[in-house]
């Protein structure tokens, strides 16, 4: 039997026990790809309608607002301003993220509006609860945060710079700034999260890190931190991605990790996630599953976002020193599971900046998906009429995933962020254009955001003279062989 999280309420007799089950309708549809054969009912499209016209929140003390509908949710004053409650007032019923609009702690429910939660097999309930308790304890412990900050500085190479893309800016008619996560140790933003989770696993007494990887960057980062902290590392990677990312496979093995090919399903990131979850069930006492993105059961989406928040925090301070207005007009990043975008958006969600996540056109869960459950969380999932998970496609292995992190689903539903797509042809063109204009080779994943910027600037969607901050999540060395065949 599957259940979500422990609750003081009597256990319900359904296959899925959810602390907020009263507010979510379980439809007859099924998503059969949750943990492979471990599936959970797919909640229907009805969400949590928190605010209705004529029942707007009333102001309370302490700079917070509480709803007039008795839902018990709160919304911070700054989030209310940014979320634009006034511009949403004409809607008959609108889902608002509440406190999560400010990308803060989602609480024990692990929900971002209607999305998120914890849908796990019985064997993982205690593991998730223990992980949440350990993380809450660690983040309030100065010795843990100081150690993490120290390693981010002296080992990972933070802060990463914000680089003006002067020549490309001139071509596009916008002021383009690049947050250079490609310059972090291991070549991407992934190390921010893995350093945090590695230290947390060590604090919990775990001996092994399990990880999934698509493009290989999360696998490389996990292998790197395993070597640093003396932890064994096992990385699950789809066979198709192993063929696409042979260089990163070699890097992982050189660092001492065991890379396990996953031959089931589409042999890509989705299947690697499923296999890693299955293996975690069998070794939960000694292993920590180091999820690489803002997905999975609570507390992972929140915890990973917090470890990646350093991107947005740094960028906010750097933009304050670079820009007369203090913040850019547009903040954008590529989105698969969405960790680099979540970390970036966290620094700007309480500003007037337009937040834009860019998905792969062949894996666009926000623009082409339906709410469902996959890999332990409720979010937008690519699925067919029968609730079966559809195959995603992207030239970039890191975005080749049929879901999106639940916080992004919440941000998109609330209207605070918007999600667009870029296709493979646009992405390859963007890689070449940045390389030849600025001497910077972006990862294929990162180039999705750049492809949208180019398209939007040239079409006028981004007005002339606007300032655009893009998180360049990783470098393109890993994609060189693939690009050689395409360019």
Q: How far is CA 248 from CA 122, 223, 292, in A?
A: 34, 11, 15
Q: Which of 169, 179, 190, 445 is catalytic?
A: 190
Q: Which two tokens stand for residue 212?
A: 């999934």
Q: How many Cα atoms within 13 Å fall on the side-chain side of residue 172?
A: 29
Q: Which of 212, 314, 426, 438 is catalytic?
A: 212
Strands (E), 249-345: 258-262, 287-289, 330-334
Could you give the CA distance from residue 40 to residue 32 in angstroms, rounded to a whole number?
Answer: 7
Q: Which of 169, 293, 429, 473 is catalytic?
A: 473
Q: In what order do the strands lie in the sheet with 232-238?
A: 258-262, 232-238, 208-213, 287-289
Q: Which two tokens stand for residue 193?
A: 């999260």
Could you give the CA distance from residue 453 to residue 447 in angstroms, rounded to a whole number?
Answer: 10
Q: Which two tokens stand for residue 400?
A: 């080749």
Is 239 annotated in the active site?
Answer: no
What number of other Cβ atoms are within 10 A of residue 130's Cβ? 12
Is 207 annotated in the active site?
Answer: no
Is 385 annotated in the active site?
Answer: no
Closest-CA residue to 295 (of 384, 395, 193): 193
What number of other Cβ atoms are within 10 A of residue 326's Cβ? 12
* Rounded-to-10 torsion of CA 90, 368, 24, 111: -90
∠ CA 183-188-189, rounded to 5°: 105
Please list the active-site residues.
190, 212, 473
């Amino acid at each position: 039997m599957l259940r979500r999280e422990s609750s003081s309420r009597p256990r319900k007799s359904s296959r899925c026990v959810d602390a907020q089950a009263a507010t979510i309708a379980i439809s007859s549809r099924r998503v059969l790809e949750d943990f492979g054969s471990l599936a959970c009912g797919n909640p229907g499209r009805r969400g949590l309608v928190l605010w209705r016209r004529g029942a707007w929140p009333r102001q309370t003390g302490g700079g917070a607002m509480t709803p007039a509908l008795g839902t018990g949710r709160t919304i911070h004053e700054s989030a209310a301003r940014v979320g634009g409650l006034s511009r949403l007032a004409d809607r008959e019923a609108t889902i608002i993220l509440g406190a999560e609009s400010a990308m803060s702690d989602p609480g024990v429910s692990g929900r971002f509006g209607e999305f998120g939660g914890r849908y796990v097999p019985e064997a993982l309930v205690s593991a998730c609860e223990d992980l949440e308790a350990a993380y809450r304890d660690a983040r309030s412990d100065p010795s843990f945060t100081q150690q993490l900050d120290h390693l981010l500085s002296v080992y990972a190479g933070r802060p990463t710079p914000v680089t003006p893309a002067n020549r490309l800016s001139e071509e596009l008619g916008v002021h383009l700034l690049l947050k250079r996560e490609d310059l972090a140790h291991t070549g991407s933003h992934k190390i921010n999260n893995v350093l945090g989770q590695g230290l947390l696993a060590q604090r919990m007494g775990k001996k092994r890190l399990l990880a999934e990887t698509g493009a290989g960057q999360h696998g490389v980062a996990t292998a790197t931190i395993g070597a640093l902290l003396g932890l064994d590392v096992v990385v699950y990677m789809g066979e198709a991605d192993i063929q696409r990312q042979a260089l990163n496979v070699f890097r992982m093995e050189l660092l001492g990790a065991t890379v396990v090919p996953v031959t089931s399903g589409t042999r890509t990131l989705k299947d690697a996630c499923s296999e890693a979850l299955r293996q975690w069930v069998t070794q939960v006492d000694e292993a920590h599953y180091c999820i690489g993105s803002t997905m999975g059961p609570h507390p992972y989406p929140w915890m990973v976002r917090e470890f990646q928040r350093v991107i947005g925090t740094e960028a906010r301070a750097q933009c304050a020193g670079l820009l007369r207005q203090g913040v850019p007009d547009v903040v954008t990043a590529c989105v698969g599971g969405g960790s680099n975008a979540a970390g970036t958006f966290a620094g700007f969600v309480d500003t007037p900046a337009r937040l834009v996540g860019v998905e792969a056109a062949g894996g666009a869960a926000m623009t082409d998906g339906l709410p469902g459950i996959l890999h332990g969380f409720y979010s937008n999932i690519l699925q067919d009429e029968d609730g079966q998970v559809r195959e995603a496609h992207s030239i970039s292995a890191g975005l080749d995933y049929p879901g999106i992190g639940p916080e992004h689903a919440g941000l998109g539903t609330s209207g605070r962020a918007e999600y667009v797509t870029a296709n493979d042809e646009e992405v390859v063109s963007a890689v070449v254009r940045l390389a030849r204009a600025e001497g910077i080779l972006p990862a294929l994943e990162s180039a999705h955001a750049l492809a949208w910027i180019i398209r939007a600037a040239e079409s006028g969607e981004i007005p002339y003279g606007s300032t655009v901050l893009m998180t360049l999540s990783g470098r393109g060395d890993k994609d060189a062989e693939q690009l050689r065949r395409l360019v």
